[in-house]
Homo-oligomer: A and B are copies of this chain.
Amino acid sequence: MTTRWLTPEEQRAWRAYLGATLLLEDALDRQLQQEAGMPHMYYSILANLSEAPERRLRMTDLAELLKITRSRLTYAVGRLEKDGLVRREECPQDKRGSVAALTEEGFATVERLAPGHVETVRATLFDQLTPRQVGQLEEIFTGVAQALQGEDAGGASGDVPWRRRSPPCS
């Protein structure tokens, strides 16, 4: 099959997206590392739990929300548990402890970190965009995520990270 190389327009878009995304990740990680000694992904775990009913989520659902593998999540939650921010609990349906619950200290940490984190997201991304571009951003990446998750029949394989290890409680 002949390779469908990128057009010059696609190459420019790809490089702009890749470069800006690496810089954004770096800025978000640095702000949270300086503020709380944790990378952006750890903050995302706490933030997702803080918004969930009773501040707890099954590990499988949390991995899907975060778009990461179960093993990556298990490692991160282990670290957060050591710091007293998250507690592993047994799942009502079985005994393998696959629910993550935010502790009081974890909730206080999210409350303390949220303003600085949001300010960084705003300064690095949204302050650079017009309202129209915010809509374009949502539309572009909603479509990309759907294809990657196999929700679109014509899309990619649907081999999503969070299904790669058999979830013990689902």
**Partner-B contacts on A (CB < 8 A):** 3-6, 9-10, 12-14, 16-24, 26-27, 30, 44, 66-68, 114-115, 118-119, 121-129, 131, 133-145, 147-149, 155-156, 159-161
Shortest Cβ distance from residue A113 to the other chain B in the assembled complex, whole angstroms: 11
Q: Is the CB of A5 within 8 A of B118?
A: yes
Question: A155 CA to B115 CA in the complex, in Å?
Answer: 19
Which residue of B5, B136, B160 contacts A133 across the interface (Cβ within 8 Å)? B136
- Interfacial chain B residues near A13, Cβ < 8 Å: 134-135, 137-138, 141
User: Which 10 A-B pairs have CB atoms at the shortest separation, nearest pair first?
Assistant: A20-B141, A13-B138, A16-B141, A22-B67, A20-B145, A3-B115, A23-B148, A20-B144, A13-B137, A136-B136
Interchain CB contact under 8 A, B124 and A156: yes
User: Assuming A9-B131, A9-B135, what are 11 further A-B pairs, CB within 8 angstroms?
Assistant: A6-B122, A13-B138, A14-B126, A17-B137, A20-B141, A20-B145, A23-B145, A23-B160, A24-B148, A128-B140, A133-B136
B140 close to A136 (CB less than 8 A): yes
Which listed residue (B118, B121, B133) contacts A139, Cβ 8 A? Answer: B133
**Chain B residues near A127 (CB-CB < 8 A):** 147
Chain B proximity of A65: nearest CB distance (Å) = 8
Smallest Cβ-Cβ distance to A120: which chain B residue: B156
Closest Cβ–Cβ distance, residue A123 to chain B (whole Å): 6
A149→B16 CA distance, assembly (Å): 12
Contacts of A124 in B (CB 8 A): 144, 147-148, 156
A135 to B132, CA, bound (A): 14
Most buried by B among A19, A133, A137: A137
